[in-house]
Amino acid sequence: MTGPHPLAAWLERLDSFVRLSGSDKAAILDLPVHVGARPAHHRIVREGQPIETCAVLMSGYAIRYKRTMNGARSIIGVLLPADAVDLQHLYLKCADHDVEMLTPGRLALLDHRDLRAVAAERPAIATAFSIHNQLETAILREWLLNVSRRPARQRMAHLICELALRCDRLGLGVEGGFDIPCTQQQLGDALGLTSVHVNRTLRGLEDDGLVEREQHVIRVPDWSMLARVAEFNAVYLHMLQPRSTDEKR
């Protein structure tokens, strides 16, 4: 059974950041890689531990989070398929946050030394890694703004807009929405709210016809209306090239 290469989707993404030569691509595809399935809640990265491998998400979703000493949690990022989990720590001694699977999924595991080596030999690849990190950092900045200066309703709407857009770009979107199964507790951790308040906020958006819910699927009947509530401006996503032909702003 020889399906597509486990790194194919990731490579395509890197190639969309900077044009990679044939040999650059070959170098990526030749990296020693282990593929493995992981259940939900599997811890991929553990705070405080040295890191030797970098996972690339082949399928499923993952979340980055940090905890305060009294146990409160803040989700600081959502990883979608074709995202690399650990490029953020490529040159750091140990992890400063945790990453875990949100859903079951498959990982392609790479060795940090191999990645550093290939980046050192091939400037275009080093650049692609940098862009990968810079794009994620840009999202992090927006999240900080979101949590620190927007009220709950807008904060929620903003997160939903972002995820709908990111899923849509990957072709993961349910029509006019997305399907990232996360609990209201998890949404709260991503938004700096309690699960109770998430519940009420979601209900408010639903009552106003801005979102529809069905199990864990969130549907967005009118994206531009939700975007207006969220004051959503996609500049921070730095979408380098429209992946599909649709015109969703």
Q: Which residues make up the interface to its own copies (CB under 8 A)?
A: 17-18, 47-48, 64, 66-70, 72-74, 76, 88-94, 96-97, 116, 119-121, 123, 126-127, 129-131, 133-138, 140-145, 147-150, 191-192, 231, 233, 235-236, 238, 240
- Tokens 């969309």 -> residue: 16
Write down the least CB distance from residue 50 to its own copies, Å: 12
> Hey, how many other C-beta atoms are within 10 angstroms of the C-beta on 138?
14
CA distances from residue 60 to 77, 106, 138, 211, 231 in whole angstroms, order as listed: 14, 7, 22, 23, 29
- Taking CB under 7 A as the rule, does residue 185 contact DNA? yes
- Taking CB under 7 A as the rule, does residue 184 contact DNA? yes
As a whole number of angstroms, the distance between CA 103 and CA 237 comes to: 24
Residues 136-165, one symbol each (x = binds DNA by CB under 7 A, - = not), give ---------------xxx------------
For its own copies, give the closer residue by CB, 93 or 249: 93
Residues near 195 by beta carbon (within 8 Å), at least 6 away in sequence: 183, 184, 185, 187, 188
From the list DNA, its own copies, none, partner contacted by residue 152 (C-beta under 5 to 8 A by kind): DNA
As a whole number of angstroms, the distance between CA 95 and CA 72 comes to: 19
Beta strands in the chain (DSSP E): 34-38, 43-45, 53-59, 62-67, 73-79, 98-101, 105-111, 177-178, 212-214, 217-219
Q: Work out which of 85, 193, 220, 226 binds DNA, going by CB under 7 A.
A: 193
For its own copies, give the closer residue by CB, 173 or 223: 223
Residues near 133 by beta carbon (within 8 Å), at least 6 away in sequence: 87, 88
- Taking CB under 7 A as the rule, does residue 42 contact DNA? no
Determine contact, residues 55/85, Cβ cutoff 8 Å.
yes
- Taking CB under 7 A as the rule, does residue 205 contact DNA? no
- Taking CB under 7 A as the rule, does residue 220 contact DNA? no
From the list its own copies, DNA, none, partner contacted by residue 51 (C-beta under 5 to 8 A by kind): none
Token pair, residue 14, equals 């890197």
- Taking CB under 7 A as the rule, does residue 199 contact DNA? yes
- Taking CB under 7 A as the rule, does residue 211 contact DNA? no
From the list DNA, its own copies, none, partner contacted by residue 66 (C-beta under 5 to 8 A by kind): its own copies
Which class for 194: exposed (0-12), middle (13-18), buried (19 or more C-beta within 10 A)? middle
- Taking CB under 7 A as the rule, does residue 219 contact DNA? no
The residues of the shown chain that bind DNA, judged by CB under 7 A, are: 151-153, 183-185, 188, 192-197, 199-200, 202-203, 213, 215-216
